[in-house]
Structure 1
Amino acid sequence: MTETSTSDTRERLIAAAADLIASAPGEDFSLRAVCDAVGVKMPTLYHFFGSKQGLIEAVIEHGFDLYLAEKKSMEWSGDPIQDIRAGWDAHVAFGLTNPGFYTLMYGKVRPGYSPEAQSRPSAILLSLTERAAEQGRLVVSPEQAAAHILVTNIGVTLRQIILAAPDPALSAAVREGAIAAITGVGVPTNNPLAAAIEIAAAYPDILGKSETQLLVKWLRTLSTNQQS
């Protein structure tokens, strides 16, 4: 078997398992069915993955590849808090469109274990909260902010998958609550400029994207000069 055909067989096994998982979200799948779909014997599957768990982890990796490909195609605003909002909505949309993948990626809980692939989107989120912290827009650490956003994002997505009913109003309400918790918006503050920045970033459609970015830049400059 050539290197190319070996790689192709492995990818076809992952694709077959992914198709079975997608067709029956939350249900178990048969290794025999995966092998039959590809036209190989069980020893071939074990050669590539070692066990059923090994195949599942390869499918999880495949799911994160799909998820991150969608993330990369997103149009980022350049404003970290607004991009957290956009990332939240993309996360929920991916889960509702791909419930089979999503429940493997985030819904299968085993104490002390998390798929290695989870670290990739988590790193993107942490980079956004770190930028927000650099701009003085967080009331918690970047690590705590990222964790807060991630766990609430996963929770609201799993709830909608379990109920098999999209609930955009719930998602938006939980999203804004999570963002308020990490930015302090809605909490009495002696820094009205910081509050104005978050309000402007939350509603970019009112002034327009370019105008909002310019306004936030001006407000941030005023806030920085006020503190110096």
Structure 2
Amino acid sequence: MEMASSDTRERLISAAADLIAASPGEDFSLRAVCDAVGVKMPTLYHFFGSKQGLIDAVVEHGFDLYLGEKAAMESSGDPIQDIRAGWDAHVAFGLTNPGFYTLMYGKVSPGHPPAGQSRANEILKGLTSRAADQGRLAVSPDQAAAHVLVSNIGVTLRQIILAQPDPELSHAVREGVMAAITGTATGQGDALNAAIEVAAAHPHILGATETQLLVEWLGKLSREVS
């Protein structure tokens, strides 16, 4: 019985997700969800309590998909480069799954972020903390993570709203944020910090191992002379 109940719940979430994906940003019918699964309305309310309860479950499902993709990504070994890769993966997920994304980041209750957002944020904060440990940040790890996240969400939502990918905009905003948090924007930082980020952004030129060593050496030199 428990297995059947669990299966019914998952099928209801899947049906709602399919309806949301088919018409991003539009409302969906609970009756249509029940009809797709072949159950009565009381069954849906038994599992979720309300329409908002079902939406919350769909949002959590969306974060499970998103975090599953992030978990499958290989680390470059460089936290700043991993932030760049994470940015691009975030945008790609939003453009591929606009229905999920607009619920995950576009429709939120003030003061009550979805639990999945916290899981995603912790991954980003882990990277900014590593970058701070290497002396690569001009701001605190929390502030760096906030800069990246709000900019990443804004760029993704804009492309979803316009229904048109804009990789040049995404790249430009991403690099602007990277320069801001690392202190290499115009008028900030110094030549050593700039050299670190140039090397890290192009590991194919020197090779991964050599680039990592160069970043470590320049970072140590920057900390000693600053």
Q: Tell me whether the two structures share a fold, i.e. TM-score over 0.5.
A: yes
Which residue of structure 2 aligns with residue 112 of structure 1?
111
Which residue of structure 2 aligns with residue 86 of structure 1?
85
Label 1:190 to 1:22 Cα distance change in 2 as closer, same or farther (>3 A). Answer: closer
Distance 1:142 1:6 in 2: 43
2:16 counterpart of 1:17 = yes
Deviation for aligned residue 1:224 = 4.3
SS in 1 for 2:216: helix
Which residue of structure 1 aligns with residue 201 of structure 2?
202
Which residue of structure 2 aligns with residue 185 of structure 1?
184
**Unmatched runs of 5 consecutive residues or more in structure 2:** none
Which residue of structure 2 aligns with residue 157 of structure 1?
156
Label 1:49 to 1:226 Cα distance change in 2 as closer, same or farther (>3 A). Answer: same
Q: Which runs of 4+ in 1 moved over 6 A?
A: none
Cα RMSD over matched residues?
A: 1.5
Distance 1:29 1:44 in 2: 17
2:67 counterpart of 1:68 = yes
Distance 1:14 1:95 in 2: 19
Which stretch shows the higher mean deviation, 204-213 or 25-34?
204-213
Q: Which amino acid aligns with 2:92?
A: A
Distance 1:214 1:137 in 2: 14
Label 1:139 to 1:32 Cα distance change in 2 as closer, same or farther (>3 A). Answer: same
SS in 1 for 2:159: helix
Q: Which amino acid aligns with 1:72?
A: A
2:30 counterpart of 1:45 = no
Distance 2:143 2:26 in 1: 34
Which residue of structure 2 aligns with residue 211 of structure 1?
210
Deviation for aligned residue 1:136 = 1.1
Label 1:190 to 1:49 Cα distance change in 2 as closer, same or farther (>3 A). Answer: closer
Question: Once the two structures are superposed, what CA deviation does each residue of 1:22-45 show, in whole Å capped at 9, x if it has no partner?
Answer: 111111110001101111100000
> What percentage of residue pairs aligned between the two structures are identical?
76
Label 1:187 to 1:69 Cα distance change in 2 as closer, same or farther (>3 A). Answer: same
SS in 2 for 1:29: coil
Q: Work out whether residues 19 and 28 of structure 2, in 8 Å CA contact, stay in contact via their aligned partners in 1.
A: yes
Distance 2:188 2:101 in 1: 38
SS in 2 for 1:165: coil
Question: Once the two structures are superposed, what CA deviation does each residue of 1:155-204 show, in whole Å capped at 9, x if it has no partner?
Answer: 00000000111000000000001111111113446743222111111222
Question: Once the two structures are superposed, what CA deviation does each residue of 1:37-61 show, in whole Å capped at 9, x if it has no partner?
Answer: 1111000000000000000000000
SS in 1 for 2:27: coil
TM-score under structure 1 normalisation? 0.94
Deviation for aligned residue 1:216 = 1.6
Distance 1:40 1:182 in 2: 51
Q: Which amino acid aligns with 1:103?
A: T
Q: Which amino acid aligns with 1:93?
A: A
Label 1:190 to 1:179 Cα distance change in 2 as closer, same or farther (>3 A). Answer: closer
Deviation for aligned residue 1:107 = 0.7
Question: Once the two structures are superposed, what CA deviation does each residue of 1:192-224 show, in whole Å capped at 9, x if it has no partner?
Answer: 322211111122233333332232233234334
**Unmatched runs of 5 consecutive residues or more in structure 1:** none
Label 1:85 to 1:110 Cα distance change in 2 as closer, same or farther (>3 A). Answer: same
Number of residue pairs the alignment of both structures matches: 226
TM-score under structure 2 normalisation? 0.95
